[in-house]
Copies of this chain bind each other. A is one copy, B any other.
């Protein structure tokens, strides 16, 4: 496979930043899932640029479901979503046919596609394609919710400012997920959020950009999901998460903090609480041996600062193989992390849907008539 993931339910992404449409095909959905157009719209709204902390290219993100839905429910056959591109201004980008923006894929696309790539606006590498992923995620998130599975993310850090952490206790965590899912700028601590936005604006004024860390939690998963070796929960999630542009690190539970500690501090003790087996702490992020243990699955993604900055940068003209300089113009995000968080949620939802379909069968999410 190339541009697909998923075993029981496959996600295939297509499109270019300046083509007529980007889109996605979901193949393997259960029949009978109610498709909630308002929710899809709301999720796309969370991804859309806004305010002074985002690009001024604002797409309406109309979307059209052209197959796989009949009478408001999924049919069980491939569901294709199209999202038209309207706001593209290709004139801005001609220099990119031969000049590499540092931190971007212009040069690597040239090496891979030998000059045939659509270089306008990053082409197929563009963050525009995440709109299709968000729409796809919004098809399955309500189906997961019906099974008691909640997914939510917040900005654990941004531009050096720290947010609070998600709670370990599942009930409190579920409350926090509900809270952040309703927020445009997803933080637990409002003061931290204000400070982050101020830092992004400051970077923007300086022609620079910032990154951050997204913390994500999934509650309500049964114990026993995942595979011991190559399809561990960590493997399946990280595979999909690292496909999100700008994600350069993924860690589960205490992650890199585990590395320098002792086993006696980080082993999560099992206990029986209200007749259920739980762990007292969740340093392993709800996963032992690659398999879910019934505690919330918790992970963090490192999102690098947006590569597009308005400063003069040293680079090369890769057609003539010569040093040159590049100063970007046009519309760019000084940060994408606050928009990326809904992409992380969507990709996570698609992976979890796929895992549950494989484990419990393709009818697991089916609304039987």
Contacts and interface: CB of A to CB of B under 8 A. Distances in A.
Contacts of A115: 32, 369
Contacts of A111: 222-224, 291-294
A63 interface: no
Contacts of A145: none
A48 B9 CA distance: 33
Contact of A75 (B76, B117, B272, B367): B117
A304 B288 CA distance: 12
Contacts of A117: 31, 70, 75-77
Contact of A114 (B31, B109, B114, B304): B31
Interface centre among A226, A240, A242, A359 (most CB of B within 10 A): A242
B75 A211 contact: no
B25 A12 contact: yes
B242 A304 contact: no
Interface stretch (A39-47, A173-181, A183-191, A307-315): A307-315
A259 B302 contact: yes
Q: How many copies of this chain are found per oligomer? A: 4
B123 A77 contact: yes
A78 B13 contact: yes
Interface stretch (A52-60, A100-108, A135-143): A100-108
Nearest to A320: B272
A124 interface: yes
Given A31-B114, A78-B3, A314 B270 contact: yes
A80 B368 CA distance: 32
A243 B232 contact: yes
A172 interface: no
A13 B109 CA distance: 27
Given A103-B266, A111-B224, A304-B259, A235 B242 contact: yes
A171 to B, nearest CB: 20
A255 to B, nearest CB: 4
A303 interface: yes
